[in-house]
Structure formats: C-alpha cells, structure tokens
Chain A
C-alpha cells in the first residue's frame, strides 16, 4: 500500500521509542503510544477535576459538560444493569473516558491513535472479559454455568446449543477488541490514503480534500461511537454476569 513519495499509509501506526528505559533485561522504554496514553490520562483527570472544582449547585458551562459526561454513563449503566450495577460505575466510566479520549486524540494532526493497536484494545477487552467472568462466578458460584444452557431448549438440541453458547461467550473479548481496533485502523488508513491522493493529484487534489473533510467528520463520530459501543457492551456483559437472565 505505498503511496507517492514512498510513504506507506501504515507508517502512522508505527511504535517509536522516545526514551530508552531498560530494567534488568526488560525493555520498558517510553514509546509514542505510552506518551499519548499518559496525555489522555492527564487530560481526562485534569478536565474532570478542573471542571468540578466549583461544585456549584447550578452548573456553569464547563461543570455542565463534566456532569453530562457523568450522567450519560450513569444513565447507561442504570438502564442496562439497574441499581446493582452501581459498584461498577468507576470501571465503566474509566473505560468510556479512556477510550473516548484516546480515539479523539488520534484525530489531532501528527498524533498517534493509541487504540489503533490490537495489543491495547485486546488488553482492555480481556480485562473486561476476565472481570465479568470472575464476577459471574463470585455472584452465582457454579450456577453461573447455567448461563450457557438457555431455558426451554429440548434435550437433544442442547448438544448443539451449549457449545455454540460457550463459543459465543469466548468470542466476546475478540469481537470487542477487533471492533475498536479495526474501526480506528481502517479510518486512519483511509484518511492517509486520501491524503496521498491529494498530494498526487496536484490541482485536482481539491476533490480528495473534500472527501478528507467529510471523512474526518465521520471519523470523529466513529471515535465517539466506538467508545460508546465498547461501554454499552461492557454494561451488557456486566448485566449478564449480575442478573443471569438469558
């Protein structure tokens, strides 16, 4: 996928070392990915702390923005899980804010999209999967295994249904991670490919430029949407573990 000038659209996803840190044979260097994750963490914490510092009863604009973010996820969690989901709000909120700002920071020029690497998204998805599974076994003990046996299924069909249910359960971390990673990677690759067209087409490069403008808008929408979808699915999986209705 080489464009004009020998630059590949995939170069933007390369991990570069910024500061060498080697501890006892382990390469713990600061990479551009880690740097942007630190930036996301600092920005989201600073935003929420600064916006809420007044704690006014009638919120101003900034406090309103922070409160809307809180309300959105609190409402989502309440709608999917109910009041039993309240203890898991920090997890869900952190996931949403982290993925949202990682995706949005990737839209800045010359930045690096943290969530465009399957390693990052799979770590997040695996964490959600392990937490939800452990939660299911803690809350219901071995009765949690009945989750894979839907009610009202006749005997012989169980031989077919149970392995399918187990498979679809274990597919969850994979689908969760690949959905986020593929959306981010595909979007940014498309932007770079059209960017190559703009340069290559000279005067007529205005046409791919218009497409890039539209695509950038779409990418911002997709950035927010994918954070929302990841969070909604986490809430749904939490609901499956807490209330075991199939």
Chain B
C-alpha cells in the first residue's frame, strides 16, 4: 500500500472518532433538558456548566479533526 492511500485511510479512521464526540454532546444536552424539565428553576444556574461541558467535548472532536488533517497534509 503506498503512502497516499495509507494517508487517506488513516484520516478516515481518525475522523470516525468525531462521531463518538457527537454522542457525548448529545448526552450533555439531553441530561440538561431532562434536568430542566424536572427543576426549571435550577436550569439557568447550571447553563454555564452545560456550555463549558459542550465546549470541552467539542474540543475532543476537533482534536480528532486536527489529527486527521495532520495525517493527510503533513505526512
């Protein structure tokens, strides 16, 4: 297998892991909505942490993207 084919396969594999980060983001907001429906008064207070959690999970997805781009364009 020559290098360019291996690069494409490697980038594809790295990009798959971004799907699991999408699941994580869904979990965060799903739990937030479920909690907000039980206790609407507390929803505003915790929203800041929801956004922080979303950004950190999104970051993991973007680490995978950066890895895929490094595999594709640097090697």
> Which positions in A face B, CB cutoff 8 Å?
175, 178-179, 181-183, 186, 225-226, 228-229, 232
Contacts and interface: CB of A to CB of B under 8 A. Distances in A.
Interface in B24-67: 51-52, 54-56, 58-59, 62-63, 65-66
A178 B51 contact: no
Contacts of A232: 52
Nearest to A181: B66
Contact of B63 (A182, A225, A229): A182
8 contacts: A178-B59, A178-B62, A179-B63, A181-B66, A183-B59, A225-B51, A225-B55, A228-B51
A19 to B, nearest CB: 30
A183 B51 contact: no
Contacts of A225: 51, 54-55
Contacts of A181: 66
A179 B51 contact: no
Nearest to B55: A229
Residue among B51, B55, B56, B63 with the highest chain A CB neighbour number at 10 A = B55
Nearest to B49: A232
Contact of B58 (A175, A183, A228): A183
Contact of B66 (A182, A226, A228, A229): A182
A15 to B, nearest CB: 17
Contact of B55 (A178, A186, A226): A226
A197 B63 CA distance: 26
Contacts of A186: 62, 65
A225 B55 CA distance: 7
A175 B59 contact: yes
3 interchain residue pairs of minimum CB distance:
A182-B62, A179-B59, A229-B55
Contacts of B52: 228-229, 232
Contact of A182 (B51, B54, B59): B59
B20 to A, nearest CB: 17
Contacts of B58: 183
Contacts of B62: 178-179, 182-183, 186
